[in-house]
């Protein structure tokens, strides 16, 4: 079941709804597996007969849980699907996954029908459009706890579609029909203030780990063909609140022999997900068919390190890093820092990466990063300068010697 209340008014850009909480519950017989409430609003750019318009709308009062929703099985993940529109022509879907400690929303997808003139007035196209994004590190919670995030979270489902979630309170993989009193609160809802230690005590910064071991990671499609290759050492830098309510910046190396690899393959989008017992890290890559360049477009992380007070979640879906030509592998031997958010960054070491157009399961010709190119150029410049200096000294010596000989006279 689902309930919603919404008010629509018309702007020049289209139809705008005021969002209200939508409650939902997914059951299997007499058992409840997914339950909660959320606010969801959408911003969709579409073509009209006069150019381009933007429709901003929320889940309306008619939203309901679709028959597509399920509690899942060993082979099929649990899914919450909310349908809305006069003929249920639009569907917002959340897919869930879990490990031994956490459950999470792994994917969010939206199917919207441009034939709906109430939401997409004067649309020049018709038919159902589908978009999807991997958000496994943005919404996660401890098992047998309720995920709560009052703060707004904006998620880019595609270049034209943005989803904003707020007022989220839900639980999946439920052990009873009621939401758990134990809550996993998102990082955006955590207080930003810190408590200073007593004057008589000192706080030692976390130890700095050594250079991380280089891991060999790959993702294959359903046919066993490798679609993502990565050789790299990874070090995560996270600023978080400790169990003593202190804000610290902590470095943690990703251990390749303790890491599980997964991901997705696509023509213009692919992903690499690295998981261990305390950390889930996802890299998303995009290929620009026009420029024939690919790049790192998004990074997300969820972590529950030993001294963290709550699950740490952070991500950025608007990156444009590690750019490289299609058909080549990106190489950077030097240490790089990828700044994802103000409280989360990644240090990479001896990186080689290729997320598209892999042939024979091997890296293509390398394209070096700018740092490596500059590091190679510096010795050349220094060597040329030294050679020039030696040449100047030699020429000066020969000229001086010639003048000395010319000064002697025969007696």
Residue 10 has pLDDT above 90, yes or no: no
Strands 146-149 and 183-185, by their bridges, are parallel
Q: Which of 145-149, 250-254, 309-313, 373-377 has the lowest mean pLDDT?
A: 373-377
pLDDT band at 407 (very low <50, low <70, confident <90, very high): low
How does pLDDT run across 209-259, given as a tens digit for each residue? 899 999 999 999 888 899 999 999 999 999 988 878 888 889 999 999 999
Same CATH fold, 215-370 and 22-185? Answer: yes
Q: What distance in Å separates the CA atoms of residue 387 and residue 355, rounded to the nearest whole number?
A: 43
Strands 140-142 and 146-149, by their bridges, are unpaired
188: alpha, beta or left? (left if phi > 0; alpha if psi -120 to 50): alpha
CATH of domain 215-370: 2.40.160.110
For residues 76-102, give the mean pLDDT.
Answer: 89
Mean residue pLDDT of the chain comes to 84
Q: How would CATH label the architecture of 22-185?
A: Beta Barrel (2.40)
The candidate with the shortest Cα–Cα distance to 44, out of 121, 138, 134, is 121
Predicted confidence at residue 386, as pLDDT, reads 78
Predicted confidence at residue 99, as pLDDT, reads 87
Q: SS3 of 160, please?
A: coil
How does pLDDT run across 352-370, given as a tens digit for each residue? 999 999 999 999 999 998 8
Q: Are 80 and 147 in contact (CB under 8 A)?
A: no
How does pLDDT run across 24-52, given as a tens digit for each residue? 999 998 899 999 999 888 888 889 888 88
Predicted confidence at residue 189, as pLDDT, reads 83
Which of 154-168, 198-212, 382-396: highest mean pLDDT? 154-168
Give me 377's structure tokens. 């150029």
Give me 153's structure tokens. 């979270």
Q: What is the CA radius of gyration of the chain?
A: 28
Domain locations in the chain as residue ranges: 22-185, 215-370
Predicted confidence at residue 309, as pLDDT, reads 79
Task: Report the 10 Å Cβ neighbour count for 264.
Answer: 19
Predicted confidence at residue 112, as pLDDT, reads 93
Predicted confidence at residue 402, as pLDDT, reads 67
Residue 342 has pLDDT above 80, yes or no: yes
What burial class does residue 309 get, using C-beta atoms within 10 Å of its C-beta: 0-12 exposed, 13-18 middle, 19+ buried? middle
Query: Is pLDDT larger for residue 355 or for residue 73?
Result: 355
Residue with tokens 């000395």: 404
Report the Cα 302 to chain-centroid distance in Å.
10
What DSSP string describes 358-393?
-BTTB--SEEE-HHHHHHHHHHHHHHHHHHHHHHHH
Alpha-carbon separation of residue 213 from 265, 291, 405 (angstroms): 26, 34, 65
Q: What distance in Å separates the CA atoms of residue 330 and residue 272, rounded to the nearest whole number?
A: 15
Give me 264's structure tokens. 């997705």
Q: Are 270 and 355 in contact (CB under 8 A)?
A: yes
Task: Report the 10 Å Cβ neighbour count for 91.
Answer: 19
Q: 313: which strand partners?
A: 302
Question: How many degrees, rounded to 5, is the angle at CA 137 between CA 353 and CA 336?
Answer: 35
Number of separate helices (H) and strands (E) present in the chain? 1, 29
Predicted confidence at residue 208, as pLDDT, reads 79
Residue 137 has pLDDT above 80, yes or no: no
Task: Report the 10 Å Cβ neighbour count for 233.
Answer: 18
Q: Which residues of 34-67 are buried (b: 16+ CB within 10 A; e: fewer)?
A: bbbbbbbbbbbebeeeeeebebbbbbbeebbbbe
Q: What distance in Å separates the CA atoms of residue 352 and residue 229, rounded to the nearest whole number?
A: 8
């Amino acid at each position: 079941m689902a309930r919603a209340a919404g008010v629509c008014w018309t702007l020049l850009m289209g139809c705008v709804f005021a969002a209200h909480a939508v409650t939902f519950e997914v059951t299997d017989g007499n058992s409840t597996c997914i339950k909660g409430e959320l606010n969801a609003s959408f911003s969709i750019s579409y073509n009209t007969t006069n150019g381009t318009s933007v429709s901003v709308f929320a889940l309306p009062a008619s939203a309901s849980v679709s028959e597509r929703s399920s509690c899942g099985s060993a082979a099929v993940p649990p899914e919450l699907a909310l349908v809305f529109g006069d003929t249920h022509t639009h569907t917002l879907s959340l897919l869930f996954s879990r490990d031994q400690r956490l459950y999470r929303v792994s994917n969010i997808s939206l199917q919207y029908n441009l034939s709906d003139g109430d939401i997409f007035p004067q649309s020049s196209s018709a038919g159902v459009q589908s978009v999807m994004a991997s958000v496994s590190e943005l919404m996660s919670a401890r098992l047998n706890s309720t995920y709560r995030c009052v703060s707004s979270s904006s998620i880019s489902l595609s270049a034209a579609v943005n989803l904003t979630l707020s007022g989220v309170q839900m639980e999946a993989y439920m052990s009873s029909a009621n939401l758990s009193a134990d809550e996993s609160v998102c990082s955006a809802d955590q207080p930003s203030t810190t408590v200073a230690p007593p004057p008589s005590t000192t706080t030692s910064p976390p130890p700095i780990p050594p250079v991380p071991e280089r891991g060999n990671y790959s993702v294959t499609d359903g046919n066993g063909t490798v679609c993502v290759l990565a050789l790299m050492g990874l070090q995560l830098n996270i600023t978080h609140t400790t169990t003593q309510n202190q804000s610290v910046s902590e470095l943690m190396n990703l251990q390749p022999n303790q890491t599980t690899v997964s991901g997705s393959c696509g023509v213009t989008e692919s992903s690499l997900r690295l998981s261990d017992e305390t950390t889930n890290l996802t890299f998303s890559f995009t290929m620009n068919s026009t420029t024939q360049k690919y790049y790192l477009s998004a990074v997300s992380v969820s972590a529950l390190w030993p001294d963290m007070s709550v699950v740490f979640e952070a991500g950025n879906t608007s990156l444009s890093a590690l750019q490289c030509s299609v058909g080549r592998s990106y190489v950077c031997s030097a240490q790089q820092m990828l700044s994802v958010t103000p409280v989360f960054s990644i240090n990479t070491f001896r990186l080689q990466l290729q997320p598209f157009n892999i042939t024979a399961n091997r890296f293509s010709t390398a394209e070096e990063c700018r740092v490596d190119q500059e590091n190679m150029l510096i010795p050349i410049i220094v060597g040329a300068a030294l050679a020039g200096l030696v040449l100047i000294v030699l020429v000066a010596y020969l000229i001086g010697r010639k003048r000395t000989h010319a000064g002697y006279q025969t007696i």
